[in-house]
Amino acid sequence: MTADASGPVRPEVVLLCGVAGAGKTTYALGLEALGYVRLSVDEEVWAANGRYGVDYLASDYTSHSLAAGRLLLERLVDLVEACADVVVDLSFWKSSNSAHHGSNR
């Protein structure tokens, strides 16, 4: 949490996004060890649906990912309202996903 001279302590939210294998999860796990709550779209999809291309069709990943994102957004809002520090770990499996999210900046 951070505090500035003009106000109360505020929660900190760290957003990590990029291609798979870039080290986001390793960094997020380090923040989790410091007390941050870690939210991961990929882990939420896995917990709810199983393994990509094994337990569900690869063509279903987008809908599973969007559902997981909505759930994690609700959790994020609740955690920030509770003044918890949060790290959000996002991964772009395909360049088309990265382009889509990048256009929403």
Domain boundary assignment for the chain: 13-102
* 1 and 83 Cβ atoms separated by less than 8 Å: yes
The mean predicted confidence, pLDDT, of the chain is 85
- CB hemisphere CA count around 74 (13 angstroms): 5
d(CA 67, CA 1): 29
- Assigned CATH class of 13-102: alpha beta
* 18 and 102 Cβ atoms separated by less than 8 Å: no
Segments in the chain below pLDDT 70: 1-5, 92-105
- What is the pTM for the complete model shown? 0.76
- Is beta strand 86-89 parallel, antiparallel or unpaired with respect to 37-40? parallel
DSSP string, 5-45: TTS--B--EEEE--BTTSSHHHHHHHHHHTTPEEEEHHHHH
Q: Tally Cβ neighbours within 10 Å of residue 91.
A: 21
